[in-house]
Structure 1
Amino acid sequence: MKSDSLPQKSAFLNHRLTRNQQAVLDVLHQQPNALSAQELYSLLRQQQAIGLSTVYRALETLKLHGLIKSRMGTNGEAFYSPVVPEQHYLTCLQCGQSFPLNDCPVKELEAHLHASTPFKIYYHTLEFFGLCEPCTQSIH
């Protein structure tokens, strides 16, 4: 994805992405699911010479500018993905699988906060933790 088509909420739009930041963003946009830094590093190494610390720096910069987001997996590992509006999850504590929700139950709250506070909101996340149906059945 080119920098001129990045989310309009980003303050980073007026700045150019480095080659490594753009490569990280491109790979994340090509993936159907969020990736860990290690998974991202493995994919990027197939395309170019890049260090793991460079991947972490690019991820941090992109995250601070609202272009990507991170979610913590059940094992504490961070998973990164492009900012996509209203992406919320039900996450199973046993198998670790995440199921996206179709609707945003906090959309009105975000709009209220945006209008009533001097805080620039890039995105929000909502995640519920529990057991999916197959895991619920396997423990009974």
Structure 2
Amino acid sequence: MALLAMVVLVIGCDLFAATPSFTVAVPDHQEFTINVFDRSGLVTAARAPVRSTRQSLDAEATADPANHELTLRWLGGVCHFGPAVTVSGTAAALHLLLEPDAGPGLPFFASCPAAGLEFGLTLTLAEPVEQDAVSVEVTTR
């Protein structure tokens, strides 16, 4: 009976798993997609950003209020597929939660190369957001 209850619980959790609001493919690496969960109601579209010459290893967000856009970039690993970004808050205080290793990882028997890949996405917003209104939080498993 306990086993049956556990199976029902696992299946039930899968049925209610959150569906991304948007999914963005990483250019030149189509096997990687970024899942965007919009809890703010401000995101109207998501796409891969224009390539950059950034040097930072840290996650950084750049607001473009004139175009109602926000670009988030970070250096991620190649051992997990499907990083996730959750957008919450308002145009006056927008919060981005980045989970770079949210997706499934490599099989347990596969080794993971010490390689980095530039990830990024540009969000189109319903309202302009100023740079100082954006906060980024990175969480890992």
TM-score (norm 1): 0.25
Q: Which has the higher helix share?
A: 1
Q: Which has the higher strand share?
A: 2
TM-score (norm 2): 0.25
